[in-house]
Amino acid sequence: MDEEAVRLVPAEPPSAERAGVLVGYAQVLYLEDRDAEGGRAAEEALAVARSVGARGEEGQALGLVGVKLANQGDLDGGLALLREARRIAEEQADVEGLAMAHVMMTWGTFAAGRLEEGLAAALDGTEATGRLGSPAWRDFLEQQAALFEFPLGRWEEADRHLGAVLERDRLTGPKGVHTRWQRARLDIARGDFAAARRWLQEAEQRVATAGRAQFDAQFAGPLATARAELALWEGRDRDAFQASTEGLAALPDQGADPILFALGLAAAANRAERASARRATDQAEAARRDGDQLLARLQALADAHTSFATTPAVLAQCRAEHSRLHGHPDPAGWAAAAAEWEALRQPYPAACARWREAEALLATKASRARAEQALGAAHAVAVRLGAVPLRRELELLAQRGRVRLEAPAEPSAATAEAPSVAASLGLTQREAEVLALVAAGRTNRQIGQALFITPKTASVHVSRILAKLGVAGRGEAAAIAHRLGLDKQ
């Protein structure tokens, strides 16, 4: 429709209307990851707006040209134009222009890894649009603040901002998708898997209101990331790999978030480890081929992802996962990945890398003191954040490796209030008991005898468990139970 508007509004004589439709067209092009075309439309909009003295359109076009500069690697130059666009919007009391200037500031700073700067822009925009009486833009920028608070490890603030926006529920259509996938990622990291599934379902329902191209560019990557993370923590490695590869397939190579490669490799490595443990050689080799292809593709595209500040950290993580994929634990590789994430001031992925570092140190019979140090550092972060699934894995690893972990002085409120593992999967107490017996290899008749229920009732429970876990058979359910410690009811 925006392209049609550009066609219908004549270029001669220049007009504010022409500048306005060009601004709208450039915005759509950026949303569809057609950055080169969007930049050209923005430049034309700026020239037209200035020629006719259309001050509001000039400000909006300036912001879009700022995005062009940022996309080309000149973030400081782009931010300078965006600040000028914001000043013009304030002068004109143009709430749309003001909001877009702040939103585009957050886009550029997020990709560049300048998280504190982006958070400040989001919070400033929240306040400014609220003053101008735009509750929808205020809510959108408030949820943008959470986009920065999550990687910065400020999960309580992210929880508060997302909760407030969702409670007011004023963001309609695609705007409401952003809040829901962010809420899902926070719930996944905290271990409330049932809530995360609900938010993902709501997000996916809302994307139907966006055009297909806009959906792919804005939401395919984030939703695939959340689906893959959820599946990994639940032990559904095939689903995690599929979510990662589907997310990558929906996006142009230069627009794909590199973290999808890391999640896909983690899923492949998990599959290979489990297949090897079962002596299923063919399945292990198939998983390794999948992982090899992902890493080769990422390495070939690394230059296309230079605009992502996280690319070096993701590459280091993927190389470490690749070693795990092939059965060669690499403590140094994981330490390098953790150091990269720490340099970006992102504590959660750093702690996940330290977990794998400790695991590799124990597997290679390296210094127990080094394993204790890595485990302790990761555990402290997991406790502080309330990252329940990560904390659980760290404590299980410490138990298996006979490594001492210092107990936290007092658990965080998020950890204390977190649901049990079974509840996070949507399982009732009885279903958790049945799952533990399934993991022990019991038949329906034996489950019935153990729990004083009929074999038919046991069968009903098993069917419900398989549905809730999203698995096809008892073997996969047992694998999830073993991974999450649900086999010890």
Query: Up-side HSE of residue 31: CA atoms within 13 Å toward CB?
Result: 19
In degrees and rounded to multiples of 5, residue 407 shows phi and psi of: -70, 140
Among 169, 97, 178, 187, CA closest to 145: 178
DSSP symbol at 218: I
- With a CB cutoff of 8 Å and minimum separation 6, the contacts of 236 are 469, 470, 471, 476, 480
For position 327, what pLDDT does the model report? 94
Which sign does the torsion angle of CA 341, 347, 353, 359 carry?
A: positive
Question: Which one is the CATH code of 426-484: 3.90.1150.10, 1.10.10.10, 1.20.1340.10, 2.60.40.3080?
Answer: 1.10.10.10
- Are 108 and 68 within 8 A, CB to CB? no
Q: Is the pTM of this model over 0.85?
A: no
- Are 104 and 66 within 8 A, CB to CB? yes
What does the domain layout of the chain look like in residue ranges? 1-111, 113-210, 426-484
Grouping H, G, I as helix, E, B as strand and the rest as coil, residue 49 is helix
Among 290, 298, 289, CA closest to 317: 298
Which sign does the torsion angle of CA 309, 310, 313, 318 carry?
A: negative
- Are 233 and 193 within 8 A, CB to CB? yes
For position 70, what pLDDT does the model report? 83
Rounded to whole angstroms, how far apart are CA atoms 144 and 165? 11
Within 10 A of 141 (CB to CB), how many other CB atoms are there?
Answer: 27
May I ask the CATH class of domain 1-111?
A: mainly alpha
Both tokens of residue 377? 């550092």
Look-up: residue for tokens 């995005």? 67
- 225-237: burial string, b at 16+ Cβ within 10 Å, e else: bbbbbbbbbbbbb
For position 143, what pLDDT does the model report? 95
**Spans in the chain with pLDDT lower than 70:** 1-2, 209-217, 253-255, 302-307, 407-421, 423-424, 470, 483-485, 487-489
Rounded to whole angstroms, how far apart are CA atoms 215 and 208? 8
Dump pLDDT digits (tens) for 119-170.
999 999 999 999 888 999 999 999 999 999 999 999 999 999 999 999 999 9
In degrees and rounded to multiples of 5, residue 3 shows phi and psi of: -65, -40
- With a CB cutoff of 8 Å and minimum separation 6, the contacts of 153 are 346, 347, 348, 381, 384, 385
Rounded to whole angstroms, how far apart are CA atoms 27 and 33? 10
Residue 319, CA distances (Å) to 125, 224, 393 in order: 39, 21, 21
Dump pLDDT digits (tens) for 274-330.
899 888 999 999 999 999 999 998 888 766 556 678 889 999 999 999 999 999 999
Both tokens of residue 76? 């400081």
